[in-house]
């Protein structure tokens, strides 16, 4: 074996500028820093992030494909404002795909993955205490990454990751209610316990119920918002 084929020293493939921009924009929307309906002006974003219009526009196309921002031709972009109907659609899809992931995880995850998932819920519970939107999203992302990795369906994973950003956006307001937060953690623990038992059906049921509960909480804040 020559040194050339020794991958261990390979320098980490740094994310391209475009991806960084896309990621920062995603985060800005997920945390509510760019609120729903806000207009996004290319020139301003360029200055704000210190990149060229070329790179910025390519990044914007990604967010657009995710449904995170809306383009009105010749008028401009704005952060998508999620109607009640769309929100319901989002949660329907999320429940469906997350249910699939739950089944697959229960069926084929390794013991290590189950353990990792358990720990990530512990971590999530801690984050709830001294709260910050960023930390919360990071913790939840970790939980999902483990779940989706264990499920072993990369296509479903990709779709759920996208939806997840939109859900975060909705949750910014909705989950600040302490009640739902506690309950949510309980549901996740229950979920993990079903997975530890490899109980596919129970994991599925809990997962779907969990999403539906989250949907209910979110829908409440949305409908009040629209008054």
Q: Site residues (CB under 7 A) for DNA?
A: 16-18, 40-43, 50-55, 57, 71, 73-77
Q: Considering beta carbons, is residue 139 or 151 the nearer one to a second copy?
A: 151
In the three-class reduction of DSSP (H, G, I as helix; E, B as strand; rest coil), residue 151 is classed as helix
Specify the pairing of strand 69-72 against strand 39-40. unpaired
User: Please, which of residues 59-78 interact with a second copy by CB under 8 A?
Assistant: 61-62, 65-67, 73
The closest alpha carbon to 129, from 192, 168, 178, belongs to 178
Is residue 58 at the binding interface for a second copy, with CB under 8 A as the rule?
Answer: yes
Among 46, 49, 100, 209, binds a second copy (CB under 8 A): 100
The closest alpha carbon to 196, from 113, 138, 122, belongs to 113
Please state the separation of Cα 72 from the chain's center in Å.
25
Distance, first Cα to last Cα, the chain: 69
C-alpha dihedral (93, 96, 97, 99), degrees to nearest 10: 150
CB of 38 to DNA, least distance (A): 12
Which DSSP category does 175 fall into? T
Among 57, 142, 161, 189, binds a second copy (CB under 8 A): 57
119 binding partner (options DNA, a second copy, none; Cβ < 5 to 8 Å by kind): none
User: Please, which of residues 122-151 interact with a second copy by CB under 8 A?
Assistant: none
What residues make contact with a second copy under the rule CB under 8 A? 13, 16, 54, 57-58, 61-62, 65-67, 73, 86, 89-90, 92-93, 96-97, 99-100, 104, 153-156, 158-159, 163
């Amino acid at each position: 074996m020559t040194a050339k084929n020794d991958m261990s020293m390979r320098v980490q493939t740094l994310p391209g500028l475009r991806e960084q921009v896309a990621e920062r924009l995603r985060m800005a929307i997920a945390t509510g820093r760019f609120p729903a309906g806000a207009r996004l002006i290319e020139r301003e974003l360029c200055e704000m992030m210190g990149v060229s219009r070329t790179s910025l526009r390519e990044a914007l196309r990604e967010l657009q494909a995710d449904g995170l921002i809306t383009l009105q031709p010749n008028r401009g972009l704005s952060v998508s404002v999620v109607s009640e109907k769309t929100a319901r659609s989002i949660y329907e899809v999320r429940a469906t795909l997350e249910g699939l992931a739950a089944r697959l995880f229960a069926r084929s995850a390794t013991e290590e993955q189950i353990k990792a998932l358990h720990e990530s819920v512990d971590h999530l519970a801690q984050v709830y205490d001294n709260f910050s939107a960023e930390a919360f999203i990071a913790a939840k992302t970790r939980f999902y990454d483990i779940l989706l990795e264990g499920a072993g369906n990369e296509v479903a994973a990709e779709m759920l990751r996208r939806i997840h950003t939109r859900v975060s956006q909705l949750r910014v307001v909705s989950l600040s209610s302490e009640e739902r937060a506690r309950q949510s953690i309980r549901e996740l623990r229950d979920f993990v316990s079903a997975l530890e038992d490899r109980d596919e059906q129970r994991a599925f049921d809990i997962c779907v119920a969990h999403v539906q509960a989250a949907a209910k909480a979110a829908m409440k804040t949305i409908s009040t918002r629209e008054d």
